[in-house]
Amino acid sequence: MHGLPPAAVERLNRAKRSGVRTSLLSAPSAAGIKTVGLEPVGEVMGCTVQSMVARYQTYAATYNYNASSIAQPYLDGLSMGYRTAVDRMREEAKALGADGVVDVRLTTTELGQGEEFLAMGTAVRARSTVRPKSVFTTELSGSDVAKLMLAGWAPVQLVWVGAAYAIFTGANTQYQMSLYAGNTEVDSYTTLINRVRAAARRRFHDTVTSVRADGGIVAHMGLSTWEPGERLVAALAYVRGTAVAQFHPTGPAPVSTLTVMPLRRQGE
């Protein structure tokens, strides 16, 4: 349990003493993972509170300044916060003897000048003598994990990646954003948004490749913009999903995890 906060260590020790297995799974998710030989061993959590670089910091704008450097520190803070929270959650799962964490939920909460990064999920263990090399993480529900595995794929790692850029705006942008322009494209904004979204998707692909996965399931893509200085617009795009690996070829994934058999006879 190296690296875990004291409160996390105490929570794990309490769970071991009591023998009670908690879970964040819904009934369909709990039933779903059981069909593929997984069972919940406990609720796990990773948390960190860190000071963040303010998005709205300002400086004297100048056109020979590297505009994108103003957005990078905020992205670095987000990446570090999510990574630390997920790593601590995985460490808790490992201490419980789990093989993976499913239905992971990532949240952030502002705490004064700091920000809390929280990762919560349900640790699961396979009813098998064969153990994976490392604890997998995924935000897929238990039902979706079951469908994935029945189709010959297994979750590898929860992935959160982002990209951030900033641009200076000129007179043309100011006009295109004015009331006199009407319905017209704002060229510089289009360029910025396309660039930052493409970079985030590219980094998601590169991260999936770096963990030696065979594919990635994108769960969510987000975008935010802000103005850190005069005539300066910054944008941050992120992609969140699960890297997956194929362990044997099979048919398409089933549309439902459980089959419901009617108890009444036909005609009753």
Confidence of residue 127 (pLDDT cuts 50, 70, 90): confident
CA distance 130 to 127: 9
Contacts of residue 223, Cβ cutoff 8 Å, sequence gap at least 6: 193, 196, 197, 235, 236, 237, 238
Q: What is the CATH topology of the domain spanning 21-246?
A: Translation Initiation Factor IF3 (3.30.110)
Q: What are the structural domain ranges in the chain?
A: 21-246
Coil, helix or strand at residue 11: helix
Confidence of residue 145 (pLDDT cuts 50, 70, 90): very high
When pLDDT is averaged across residues 99-124 and rounded to a whole number, the result is 93
Amino acid at 202: R
Amino acid at 191: T
Cβ 118 vs Cβ 3: under 8 Å:
no
Looking at residue 174, its pLDDT comes to 74
Coil, helix or strand at residue 176: helix
When pLDDT is averaged across residues 132-138 and rounded to a whole number, the result is 89
Looking at residue 23, its pLDDT comes to 80
Q: Which is higher by pLDDT, 59 or 201?
A: 201
When the pLDDT of each residue in the chain is averaged and rounded to a whole number, the result is 82
pLDDT above 90 as % of the chain? 48
Q: Is the dihedral of CA 77, 82, 88, 94 positive or negative?
A: negative
Q: Which is higher by pLDDT, 7 or 201?
A: 201
CA distance 165 to 225: 10
Chain segment 16-58, per-residue pLDDT in tens: 655 556 788 888 888 889 999 999 999 999 999 998 876 655 4
Confidence of residue 60 (pLDDT cuts 50, 70, 90): very low
Encoded tokens for 204:
């998601």
Task: Say if residue 123's pLDDT is above 50.
Answer: yes
What values do phi and psi take at 251, rounded to 5?
Answer: -75, -175
CA distance 102 to 139: 6
Encoded tokens for 122:
């349900």
Strands laid side by side in the 136-137 sheet: 38-51, 114-126, 100-111, 136-137
* Neighbour tally for 78: CB within 10 Å: 20
CA distance 189 to 167: 9
Q: Which residue has the tokens 């300066």?
A: 232
pTM: 0.79
Looking at residue 162, its pLDDT comes to 95
Chain segment 63-79, per-residue pLDDT in tens: 445 566 777 888 899 99
CA distance 149 to 73: 38
Q: Which is higher by pLDDT, 154 or 55?
A: 154
Amino acid at 213: A
Chain segment 207-266, per-residue pLDDT in tens: 999 999 999 999 999 999 888 777 788 899 999 999 999 987 655 555 554 444 444 555
Encoded tokens for 3:
């690296």
